[in-house]
Amino acid sequence: MEIQAPKGTKDMPPQDAYKWHYVEGVLRDVSKSYGVREIRTPMFEHTELFLRGVGETTDIVQKEMYTFNDKGDRSITLKPEGTAPTVRAFIENRLFNEAQPTKLYYIIPCFRYENVQKGRLRQFHQYGVEVFGSKEASIDAEVISLAMESLKKLGLKSLSLNINNLGCPKCRPKYNEALKRYLEENYDNLCGICKTRFEKNPMRILDCKEKSCNEITKHAPIILDYICEECDSHFTEVKNYLDALKIQYKVDPGIVRGLDYYTKTIFEILNDDFTVCGGGRYDKLIEEIGGPEMPAVGFGLGLERLIMTLEKEGIEIPNEGLVDLYIGARGEAAKTSAFVLANKLRAIGIKTEINHMGRSIKAEMKYANKIGSAFTTILGDDELQNKTLKLKRMSDGEQFEVSLDNIEEIAKLVK
């Protein structure tokens, strides 16, 4: 019986890998332009990190985490998101002692036990940016700008930005009480999970995907009507900075995001009506996980969904090509010379391929065309004796004669 990949996982064959290389390259380049450095964290963490960081009342913790006990009977979880592990690493490596702000990005695999559908897998990949140490509204706007710039650089045009403010520990209790009073009338019609959220974290009910809960919360109180003066002032500053950057946005009081750690600014970026990116401020998470009191803001986006969106929009992802030069050979001496020449060219960055399958000359040229080689050449006794090569450019058939010993000239022609 054929063994297949587990449900919710997906292979990345070579013909798709170039798309990922390109997209990741753009994301890395934009990150660097904003002074953001890469961080890498383990694939799994102690489960407690996500209970404390993501929140016990979230869908991720209640329904989706891959959690198991290791051989030492420790509870371990494959990371379902990137923020909590990055905060843990920030604290453990004492990066808070460095000059602030600390700007970090990551490109990681994540794991969530979800209903598998198009663009949503159980193992998926996430690009995220986390900025620690600044409470200024300017950093919120900069993080949003970075996200928007990344998506624009990839070619997405129909982008819209929705923002909201979730308040802070000072003003949120007042809102929670108002929300609970509103929900009490329909408590019996809430789903089972939302009933457990009612006391612990009623705001999570606003993020429920159940249709019955959506109907109940449709006319729920709006948190913007309850935020304190400090949160209101911060939100105004964020909007002013976005206006200064000419980034258009809509204030959407319905955004709550799916994680408990958010405070103040939250945002989502949509392409048409499809959410491709989301994030916000989380000023208490570093302290909650055991670090110093320090503000933070960030975002994450799923790479599978992003690439799917690029393809849906008809945006062509550049393919740099597999091979610059294919070297065919006739005779044993030529085979050895082709083998040596190929390795010399590879050493200076020329993607070179030779015949490893005993193909005829005609079959070699078909193969060179199939793998998309930009140039081809045939090395035989005459070429060895004259120390020359005839390079054929496959796009138009034009030929160039070069010295067999002039590696630099060969490289210059085929690159």
**Does 9 show up as a binding residue in the annotation?**
no
- Please, which residues bridge with residue 89 across strands? none
Q: Where are the alpha helices (DSSP H) in 201-331?
A: 211-217, 229-244, 285-288, 303-312
Task: Quote the CA–CA distance of 356 and 337 in Å, as a whole number.
Answer: 14
User: Quick one: the chain helix, strand, coil %, rounded to 5?
Assistant: 40, 20, 35
**Does 257 show up as a binding residue in the annotation?**
yes
Task: Quote the CA–CA distance of 313 and 271 in Å, as a whole number.
Answer: 9
Q: What angle do CA 229, 231, 237 make, to 5 degrees?
A: 100
**Does 268 show up as a binding residue in the annotation?**
no
**Does 34 show up as a binding residue in the annotation?**
no
**Does 82 show up as a binding residue in the annotation?**
yes
Q: Could you report how far apart the first and last alpha carbons of the chain are, in Å?
A: 46
Q: Are 174 and 278 in contact (CB under 8 A)?
A: no
**Does 182 show up as a binding residue in the annotation?**
no
Please give the structure tokens belonging to residue 180: 């609970």
Strand order in the sheet with 67-69: 44-46, 75-78, 67-69
Tracing tokens 């930009």 back to the chain, one arrives at: 374
Closest C-alpha to 270, from 99, 371, 147, 369: 147
**Does 313 show up as a binding residue in the annotation?**
no
**Does 83 show up as a binding residue in the annotation?**
yes
**Does 120 show up as a binding residue in the annotation?**
no
Binding positions are 81-83, 112, 126, 130, 257, 261-262
Binding positions for L-histidine are 81-83, 112, 126, 130, 257, 261-262
